[in-house]
Amino acid sequence: MTRPETLQAVASPPQGWMPASWRQRHALQQPTYPDAAALEGVLNELHALPPLVTSREVLNLKHQLADAQEGKRFLLQGGDCAEIFGDCTPEVISNRLKVLLQMSLVLVHGLRLPVVRVGRFAGQYAKPRSADTETKDGITLPSYRGDLVNGPEFNAEARIPDPRRMIKGHARSAMTMNFIRALIDDGFADLHHPEYWNLAWVGHSPLAEEYQTMVAGIGDAVRFMETLSGESIHNLRSVDFYTSHEALLLPYEEGVTRQVPRQAGWFNLGTHFPWIGMRTAAVDGAHTEYFRGICNPVAIKIGPSVTPDQLLRLIDVLNPNDDPGRLSLIHRMSATSIADKLPPLLEAVKRDGRRVLWICDPMHGNTESTSNGYKTRRFENIRSELEQAFEIHAAIGTRLGGAHLELTGEDVTECTGGARELTDIDLERAYRTTVDPRLNYEQALEIAMLIVRKQAQINAPTPI
C-alpha cells in the first residue's frame, strides 16, 4: 500500500549528517561528565532500549502541523517548564492531562477548528541555565541542569552530572507515555464524559460557570447527533495526544535517534516534536546540526535578539525543501518588545514565501522577580503578549497557529493575576516550581477563553 505523499519522511539524511555529527560543532548548555566511559556505556544502553514513540505517530503529527500551517487546525502545546522525577505520579500526570483536555475543548468549541494537542511532557527533563555555576555563601557548584543531568540540592555530590540519570529519565518518560496512552484508550478523553476531566480542588472557580455551560451545550449537541443518526459517535471517545520537549542534552537525543524498518531517514523516537531553545538556536551550533538531519517535525524558540537574516538562514538549514509541517517557529518576545521585534521577522518570512507554523509563547519573555524574592509572571503581561501576537499577525497577513504555555493541573500560585487576582503575597501559598512559574488550572483555562475571544474579534468584519 502506498502511503500518502505527506507522510513520507525525507529520503536520506542531508549531506554530511549523522546522529553524532553535532559533536563536531560547538555545543552550548552541555554538562561536563566526569567519567567518559560511564557516559559511553549509558549511550550504548539507551540505543538498545525500545523507542518511546513510533515514526508513524511522528509523521501523523507532522501532517497535523501541516494542516495548522494552512489554518485548518490550532496547536495547543503546554506543560511544565521542567518535569521532575518526583512528579512522575498518577495525580500529577492525569491533572495535567485534564487541564490540556479542558483547554482544547474550549478551543475546539470556540475556534471551530480541530486542535493539535501537544504536551511538554514525557521527556522535558533538561534545562538551559544562565550560568554554568551557582554560588551560595562562598561555595561555588555546577548549576542544576534538570533531573536528566544532576540533582537540584545545593551540595557537591548532587550537582555532579550523572549519566545514569538519562536512563532514569528515559524510563520515567516511558511510564508517563504509558499512563497517558492507557488513560486515553480507557475513555478518559471521551467527549461523552467531559466531567471526568474536572479537577477536584477547583470548587467555585470564577470561570467554572462559563466552562460548565459550554460543556453542557456540547453534551446536548452530541446526544442530538446520536439521536439523529441512531448510533453512538465513536470517534468522540478518543483524541490524539503528542509529546514534545526541548532537545537540549544532545548525547541523550543522539541515544534515542533511530532508523526504522520500511521508512527512510532517521527519527528522534524519544518524543514526537522536539524543539531548540532560544539559547541554543545558533545556525552554526550543535543543536541546529542535530536537528537538520532528523525527520521529526521540529520547532525553534525565537527571542527578541534574532534578526530576520538569522531567521532565514535557520529556515534554510532546517527546512531547505519547504516541507509541509516540518518547521514551527515559537516566538517569545515579551509584552513590551513584541510590537517592535516580531513584525520584521514575520515580514521577512512572508516575503520569502517560507512555510512555517507560527506559535506564540507568551511566558518566557515575561519572567520577573517580585520584591519578596519570587520568580513570577504577571497574567496581564502574558495576556497582553498573546493578544498583541494575534493583532500583529493579522495586520501583516500571517497566521498565528498555536500557543505554547507553561501550566500545571496542580493548585499552585506561581503567576500573579488572572480571574482570582492572585497577588505577590499569594505566591507564598503554593509556589512549587523548580524552574519557571506556571499558570495554574484557572489561569490556563482563562488563556484558552481569551484565545477564542481574540480570534473571534479578529475574524469579525470591521464595523462600518
Residue ranges binding ligand PEP (CB under 6 A): 81, 128, 246, 277-279, 301, 332, 364, 436
The count of chain residues that interact with Co ion, using the rule CB under 5 A, is: 2
- Closer CB to ligand PEP, residue 248 or residue 315? 248
Q: Which does 301 bind (CB under 5 to 8 A by kind): Co ion, ligand PEP, none?
A: ligand PEP
- Closer CB to ligand PEP, residue 165 or residue 332? 332
Q: Which three cell numbers, joined as nine digits, stand for 120?
A: 511538554
Q: Which does 272 bind (CB under 5 to 8 A by kind): ligand PEP, Co ion, none?
A: none
- Closer CB to Co ion, residue 87 or residue 436? 436
- Closer CB to ligand PEP, residue 141 or residue 330? 330
Closest among 272, 353, 340 to 303, alpha carbons compared: 340
- Closer CB to ligand PEP, residue 366 or residue 455? 366
Interior angle at CA 63, CA 235 and CA 22, nearest 5? 135
Could you tell me where the beta strands, DSSP code E, fall in 31-148? 74-79, 115-120, 133-136, 139-142
- Closer CB to ligand PEP, residue 29 or residue 296? 29
Looking only at residues 166 through 185 of this chain, which bind Co ion when binding is defined by CB under 5 A? none
39 near Co ion (CB under 5 A): no
Q: Mapping DSSP to helix (H, G, I), strand (E, B) and coil, where does residue 23 land?
A: helix
- Closer CB to ligand PEP, residue 8 or residue 336? 336
Q: Which does 159 bind (CB under 5 to 8 A by kind): ligand PEP, Co ion, none?
A: none
State phi, psi for 101 to the nearest 5 degrees.
-65, -40
d(CA 402, CA 297): 15
Q: Which does 128 bind (CB under 5 to 8 A by kind): ligand PEP, Co ion, none?
A: ligand PEP
Q: Which does 285 bind (CB under 5 to 8 A by kind): Co ion, ligand PEP, none?
A: none
d(CA 94, CA 197): 9
Residue 155 one-letter amino acid: N
Give residues with Cβ within 8 angstroms of 257, minimum separation 6. 19, 266, 267, 268, 269, 294
Strand partners, 201: none
Q: Which three cell numbers, joined as nine digits, stand for 150?
A: 544532576
Q: Which does 277 bind (CB under 5 to 8 A by kind): ligand PEP, Co ion, none?
A: ligand PEP
Shortest Cβ 304–Co ion spacing (Å): 16
415 near Co ion (CB under 5 A): no
Shortest Cβ 274–ligand PEP spacing (Å): 12
- Closer CB to ligand PEP, residue 289 or residue 361? 361
DSSP-assigned letters across all residues of 243-274:
EEEE---HHHHHHTEEEETTEEEEEETT-SEE
Closest among 452, 446, 301 to 365, alpha carbons compared: 301
- Closer CB to ligand PEP, residue 79 or residue 401? 79
Looking only at residues 371 through 400 of this chain, which bind Co ion when binding is defined by CB under 5 A? none
80 near Co ion (CB under 5 A): no
Strand partners, 75: 116, 402
> Is residue 232 within 8 Å of 226, Cβ to Cβ?
yes
d(CA 417, CA 276): 30
Shortest Cβ 278–ligand PEP spacing (Å): 4
- Closer CB to ligand PEP, residue 283 or residue 419? 283
Shortest Cβ 358–Co ion spacing (Å): 19
Q: Mapping DSSP to helix (H, G, I), strand (E, B) and coil, where does residue 369 land?
A: strand
Among 27, 42, 52, 81, binds Co ion (CB under 5 A): 81
Shortest Cβ 124–ligand PEP spacing (Å): 8
- Closer CB to Co ion, residue 81 or residue 207? 81
Among 87, 289, 436, 446, binds Co ion (CB under 5 A): 436
> Is residue 394 within 8 Å of 445, Cβ to Cβ?
no
d(CA 77, CA 393): 19
> Among 65-73, 190-198, 416-424, 428-436, which window interacts with Co ion (CB under 5 A)?
428-436
Q: Which does 332 bind (CB under 5 to 8 A by kind): Co ion, ligand PEP, none?
A: ligand PEP
d(CA 268, CA 19): 9
d(CA 303, CA 127): 17
Q: Which does 393 bind (CB under 5 to 8 A by kind): Co ion, ligand PEP, none?
A: none
Shortest Cβ 410–Co ion spacing (Å): 16
From residue 88 to residue 127, the character string flagging contacts with Co ion as x (rule: CB under 5 A) and all else as - is ----------------------------------------
Shortest Cβ 435–Co ion spacing (Å): 6
Closest among 103, 257, 252, 87 to 179, alpha carbons compared: 87
- The CA-to-CA distance between both ends of the chain, in Å, stands at 55
> Is residue 10 within 8 Å of 298, Cβ to Cβ?
no
Q: Which three cell numbers, joined as nine digits, stand for 85?
A: 522525577
Q: Applying CB under 5 A, which residues contact Co ion?
A: 81, 436
